[in-house]
Amino acid sequence: MISGFIVGRRSVGRSLAFAEIDVTDASIKIDHLSSSSRQTINVKFNRQTFQDGVSPLGQNVVSSSSKHLYDDNKLDDPFPTKKSSLPYGAKVELQLGICSQKLTEDDVSPNIQWDVVRWKIIQHPKDLAEQMASLEISHVDSDGPRGKQKGVLMGDGALSCSTYLKIRREQFDRVNREPRNDKPIHVKNKGTNANVAYTISSDEICHGGKHAKAKRAKVFASWILETFIGIPSIADTYCHPCTPSTEEEKEFHTNDASSLNKMHILDVAGGKGHLSLELVLQQMTARKYNSIHHYIASCTIIDPLVRKGDATMRNSRLQKAKCNNQRIPTPAITHLASYFTMDSFNRFDDTSNMLLLGLHPDQCTEDIINVALRSNTSFAVVPCCVYPDLFPNRHYWDNGLSKPMPVRTYDEFLKYLIQKDDGIKMTTLPIEGKNVVLYKVASIVTKA
């Protein structure tokens, strides 16, 4: 039984993974470690020996009371099927068994390969960063550590984004022993003869980069306005410089705003608020309002991270945009710095005309659907990541099978979410990355 920090990692798939552990405490004697050198050992996660808290190696189990240790310390973390399951700097406890002994190059001291029987992450670096980056709770715009945050309502779980990222980076640099996968690519600047080096990160490749994210928000916002509000898509509306005819102008002002239903948008895990901003801007610049029965009156971004300048950016773009239909006021965009739960949903007084949205909301995808179904609220979600190790209890029913199957892949995740309610529909969007939309129009809100 040992405890230490992860300083190296490598995952080979669902059956094999390796880690380098900086040992801080050990209930066993490790001969090759010395007080003068850094106490590190290499461990292996093997699916064959990762069973029932007892290693099948028999006499090679480190402690005779391994089962007792497993029960007391609850070493019940799942098998690390990917590198993110072995976070750098995480404090872990391991129950080990000797896998094999190999001689080093000088053939003097054996290099023991340890096999992990059971393990658990005691302190996750993400939890530590969130604790140190947490902000005080307040109910009005307040002067935070990064200056006054306009349009930000602090709630339980509010985090300073810059502080959080700084702490995570410090933790990574302190224990990382592997070179970064990001390699500088040299390109020739057209203006000069000098070569400019820049780095392409893995996030830019996997998620399409900033331009793809901006287009994703624009397309999703256009689909939402067409499906839930009744405003035609961007391709069907007038271009901004054009002006409507006299008859069309009369149709714009046929009804008062008081005759329309005011909708409140909850942009869950909205990040910088690109989706909310696109919804407001496209509604303000839309020309065909004569057939709508609803309009977006306000948007609330629910995301725990508070970024400096995001609210200023949104307000600046709203001020520059000109509303083409004067009978509909400019919607307000606010930011609730909090995690999304049923309690955060219930803090809103009027939920009758509310729409829950999630564009790649990561871990809270299922929470959005659960809250919407429980409160009979319309929703539209674009699921992204599955997180099978974080949610091991998810199961879905497949045709022809007598028992539910665990959710591991993206297609299985979609089946699991659709099976929550018969009224959930599915469609796709012309965007990069995950583009499947799961949505339901509640009985309270009907499409015009």
pLDDT of residue 380: 96
Q: Which helix (H) or strand (E) holds 6?
A: strand 2-11
CATH fold label, 207-440: Rossmann fold (3.40.50)
- CA–CA gap between residue 41 and residue 32 (Å, rounded): 9
pLDDT (0 to 100) of residue 235: 47
Map out the domains of the chain as residue ranges.
2-123, 207-440
Please report the pLDDT score of residue 77 as a whole number: 85
Would residue 121 be called left, alpha or beta, if left means φ above 0 and alpha means ψ between -120 and 50 degrees?
beta
Q: Is the dihedral of CA 162, 386, 206, 14 positive or negative?
A: positive
Of 275, 285, 268, 272, nearest to 215 (Cα)? 275
- DSSP SS3 for 55: coil
Which residue positions in the chain have pLDDT lower than 70?
27-38, 51-73, 98-112, 137-150, 177-210, 233-260, 287-293, 322-328, 444-448
DSSP 446: -
Q: Are residues 17 and 11 in contact, defined by beta-carbon separation less than 8 angstroms?
A: yes
Measured in degrees and rounded to the nearest 5, phi and psi for residue 112 equal -80, 130
Q: What is the pLDDT of residue 410?
A: 94
pLDDT at 33: 55
**Burial (0-12, 13-18, 19+ Cβ within 10 Å), 122:** middle
Q: Which residues pair with residue 298 across a beta bridge?
A: 264, 332
Task: Give residue 53's pLDDT.
Answer: 42
Q: What is the pTM of this model?
A: 0.74
Query: Quick one: pLDDT at residue 100?
Result: 56
For residue 388, the model assigns a pLDDT of 85
Please check whether the two domains, 2-123 and 207-440, share a CATH topology. no
The per-residue pLDDT for 262 is 84
According to the model, what pLDDT value does residue 350 have?
Answer: 76
pLDDT of residue 352: 76
Place of tokens 């299985």: 412
Strand 405-406 versus strand 395-396 pairing type: antiparallel
Give the position of tokens 């009224």: 423
User: What whole-number distance in Å separates Cα of residue 96 and Cα of residue 83?
Assistant: 20
Q: What is the torsional sign of CA 24, 29, 35, 38?
A: negative
Q: Hey, which CATH number is domain 2-123, 2.60.40.420, 2.40.50.140, 3.40.50.720, 1.10.1740.10?
A: 2.40.50.140
